[in-house]
A and B are shown apart, each in its own frame.
Chain A
Amino acid sequence: MTFHSIGEFLAMGHHGPYVWSAYGITALVLILNIVMPRLARRRYLQSEARRLRREMNA
């Protein structure tokens, strides 16, 4: 363990803003990359299901 307290950990020896912004942006991008394809998949399946139902009724 390098740090002695939470405050020290958050401060990162005066480099806090740099370290945390870099990790924050990365986390955001990684989460976006998981969420976007999942949403796209759900939207696609819903629209395809609608299309299939229309075709069955027609």
Chain B
Amino acid sequence: MKWTFFHKLGSPKWFYEISGRWLPILGWAAVLLILAGTVWGLVFAPQDYQQGNSFRIIYIHVPAAFLAQSGYLLLAIAGVVSLVWKMKLADIALKCAAPVGAWMTFIALVTGSIWGKPTWGTWWVWDARLTSMLILLFLYFGIIALGQAISNRDSSAKACAVLAIVGVINLPIIKYSVEWWNTLHQPATFTLTEKPAMPAQMWLPLLVMVVGFYCFFGAVVLMRMRLEVLRRESRTSWVRTLVEQSIGRGGSA
């Protein structure tokens, strides 16, 4: 196996160039998939025989909850890479993905709460799934605050990586919370091993939305990472050249 790609990943300039090519693809895929999934889910999907039309919230609630957890997993993996190999790009990924993951957790919690009112008759219960998702949001806040509080870059990278890795224990708790405890929250809609219990007209738009949200997450994290790379490399000649070029184009490079 060739390890050159791994070393290249450590090069901010290489990352900046390659991510510049990926960003428009991811961004447009996200826009198209989310628009298509929303129209499909809101207009064409049949209504649920028990929940009526409030079930349509699933098309944003489930993708956001997926990304809230996948985003945290990304933080933990980046944390391991940043601790073991001292790769600066991993620290940048960790710092830039944290706020986006927090926003996804926020969406999952808010839409879940709005969905809970007509379905369970309450906005919030201290149930295992809901509580562990709230803890996930606080873990994100903790990492963001820690990163901002420590000004030394190396100590900040180390502290955030450790917190991200320790907090990963919350992910299996979220996943199995609906099985370990009696909860109001329904069990997973999607599993890898079984066919979904809902008709294709209902789960296909959900699949489109999930993929769209993944693309969205990727695009936004890349945008944030690219800016952070520029900030950290501001003294290098390639960033200077890029800034000089952007003056001519009105700063839109």
Contacts and interface: CB of A to CB of B under 8 A. Distances in A.
A58 interface: no
A42 B115 contact: no
A2 to B, nearest CB: 6
Interface of B: 34, 38, 42-47, 52-54, 56-57, 60-61, 64, 100, 103, 106-107, 110-111, 114-115, 117-118, 216, 220, 223-224, 226-227, 230-231, 234, 239-240, 243-244, 246-247, 251-253
B220 A33 contact: yes
Nearest to A55: B240
A25 B251 contact: no
Interface residues of A, number: 31
Contacts of A46: 251
The 3 closest A-B pairs by CB, nearest first: A12-B53, A15-B54, A37-B223
B110 A18 contact: no
A7 interface: no
B60 A49 contact: no
A18 B243 contact: no
A30 B110 CA distance: 14
A2 B253 contact: no
Given A29-B106, A49-B251, A34 B220 contact: yes
Given A18-B115, A19-B56, A23-B38, A33 B243 contact: no
A42 B53 contact: no
B230 A15 contact: no
